[in-house]
Amino acid sequence: MGRTKQKKIDAVKFFPNVFVKENLSEAVQKYFSNNNPLSLEIGCGEGDYTLALAKNFSGKNFMGIDIKPSRIYIGARSALDENIHNTAFIAGRIERLYEIFGEASIQEIYIPFPDPHVRRRSAPRRLISHQFISIYKKILTKNGRIHFKTDNEILFEFGLENLKQAGAEIIKINYNVHNSDNLTLPESITTRYEKHYIKEGRTIKYLCCGF
């Protein structure tokens, strides 16, 4: 492991807006100190999508979760430097989300550009697999929403089929985000990685659904 990466891992342990322990619901509520709706980005990486949401919706709280603290460091550091108080991050496993938040506690879930895990045997690891969708259903509030965005056609169809099988109501499907008008904010937010995908000529797809 590189020294810079290890420094980031060590640093986030002391960031007030990063949580690394289990059973965090009370700690998270105390951090935000309000009753505003809470939304969650799954696999947030460096957190640019989470930060964009927080900047656009000051009356809501946003959290990003990623298994790698070294990735979270960038977003958490930016939030502190820019005084963005309605966002925070969790360094942890997505499989533990129900233990962290409990039932009906998250208003919206965002899954932008998850790892497609292209090998068939890796399908259960996809963040839009049946395993994870069942967790999302538990933590979503009534009329909660899932927003899913990807450049991978196979992953998109995989997620769409799984969501339908899980009983999701499909609210919007966009098969070519950057060739469309009247975009919602979750569609229009463009992450650093997405900008690279666009330059490479990839088509960005988006869907929104609820349960």
- Give Cα 76 to chain centroid, integer Å: 14
Measured between alpha carbons, how far is 165 from 188 in angstroms, rounded to an integer? 27
Q: Which residues are the active-site residues?
A: 115
Beta bridge partners of 206: 149, 174
User: What does the angle CA 137 – CA 140 – CA 141 come to, to the nearest 5 degrees?
Assistant: 130
Please give the full DSSP string across 107-142, using - where no structure is assigned: EEEEEES-----SGGGGGGSTTSHHHHHHHHHHEEE
CA-closest candidate to residue 113, choices 15, 54, 45, 63: 45
Which residues have C-beta within 8 Å of that of residue 63, sequence separation ≥ 6? 28, 38, 39, 40, 41, 50, 87, 88, 89, 90
Strands 205-210 and 169-174: antiparallel
